[in-house]
Amino acid sequence: MKRGKTGWIRLAVASGATAAGFAALLAGAAFGLQAVTLPRPSDNQLLAARTLHWLTAQNAIKSTAFVGGERVSSICVNATIGPLPAYPERLHASLLVTGRRRLVETRFASFRLGSTMREEDGPLPTVRAVLAGCPRALGRRIGRFLDDRAPVHAERVFLRGATMLRLAFRQGDSRLLVIVNPRTFAPVAVRIPRLRTGWSYLARPERRDLARPELRLSPRLRLIVKEEA
């Protein structure tokens, strides 16, 4: 991270190649070990694994969705949070900023950030993080489908004049749709059908996206929540 002229820490877009590579290696190894005793992954499951691989190399994602006919933009960056009374170890997290609302989502708990930090109950924070394309939240959701060997349906679709690949995950009542670039396997759109939500469109953030005032944390919060770069 670099300290900008304004005196606050500016997030970096580029991810650490070593950390991302190690995470991808672990994800691939875990999926491969299961193949020793479980049926061989389908071609579509392997395509989904490549999207998971891409997500592990990202530190930030920006997204756009239409809510009530209005365009809503979000940005999500990898972060850590803690230690906290109930969580003595630092937790990997996603820092999601939508307008002036800031949310920290982890595997175990979620928190609303304002002048202070307040824990959020229920599944909605995680759903928001997945729809916003947060690398950790979306990757965790895809990884859960793959770990459970849920079927993956793939078909080619057209999006904004380009041929893309739509991956459909389903297990019980849990469903997820992800449109990916067929060359890079980067996700470009996400939807959770059972929520009757529209599509969220994803892209890598630019430097100006990471300089949004809403990403500035107070000195007190910065002791607990730290952006990763």
DSSP string, 74-108: EEEEEEEE--BTTB-S-EEEEEEEETTEEEEE-SS
**CA 21 to CA 164: how far, in whole Å?**
25
Task: Give the DSSP letter of residue 12.
Answer: P
Residues 228 and 78 sit within 8 Å (Cβ to Cβ): yes
Q: Quick check: pTM over 0.85? A: no
Q: Mean per-residue pLDDT for 123-150? A: 96
Task: Please check the confidence at residue 16 and state whether its pLDDT lies above 70.
Answer: no
Cβ neighbours, 10 Å, residue 93: 29
Q: Mean per-residue pLDDT for 56-83? A: 92
pLDDT score recorded for residue 195: 80
Report the range out of 135-144, 192-201, 204-213, 218-227 with the highest average pLDDT. Answer: 135-144
Q: Mean per-residue pLDDT for 37-52? A: 91
pLDDT score recorded for residue 114: 85
Question: Considering only CA atoms, which of 137, 167, 169 is closest in space to residue 150?
Answer: 169
Task: Please check the confidence at residue 115 and state whether its pLDDT lies above 50.
Answer: yes
For residue 217, what pLDDT band results from cuts at 50, 70 and 90? confident
Domain boundary assignment for the chain: 2-227
CATH class for the domain made up of 2-227 = mainly beta
Percentage of the chain exceeding pLDDT 90: 60
**CA 55 to CA 49: how far, in whole Å?**
10
Mean pLDDT of the chain: 84
pLDDT score recorded for residue 64: 96
Percentage of the chain exceeding pLDDT 70: 83
| Contact residues for 151 (Cβ-Cβ < 8 A; gap 6+) | 42, 44, 169, 170, 171
pLDDT score recorded for residue 177: 98
From residue 105, how far is each of 78, 174, 227 by CA, in Å? 10, 19, 13
Q: Mean per-residue pLDDT for 159-171? A: 96
pLDDT per residue as tens digits for the range 169-212 = 999 999 999 999 999 999 999 999 988 778 999 999 998 888 88
> Reduced to 3 states, what is the DSSP secondary structure of residue 41?
coil
Q: Mean per-residue pLDDT for 17-33? A: 48
| Contact residues for 54 (Cβ-Cβ < 8 A; gap 6+) | 184, 185, 186, 187
**CA 201 to CA 62: how far, in whole Å?**
8
pLDDT score recorded for residue 73: 94
Q: Mean per-residue pLDDT for 114-118? A: 85
pLDDT score recorded for residue 8: 29
pLDDT score recorded for residue 42: 94
Cis peptide before 83 (omega within 30 of 0): yes
Q: Residue ranges of the alpha helices (H) in the chain?
A: 17-34, 43-56, 124-131, 135-147, 219-222
Matching residue, tokens 């579509």: 44
pLDDT score recorded for residue 219: 80
> Reduced to 3 states, what is the DSSP secondary structure of residue 21?
helix
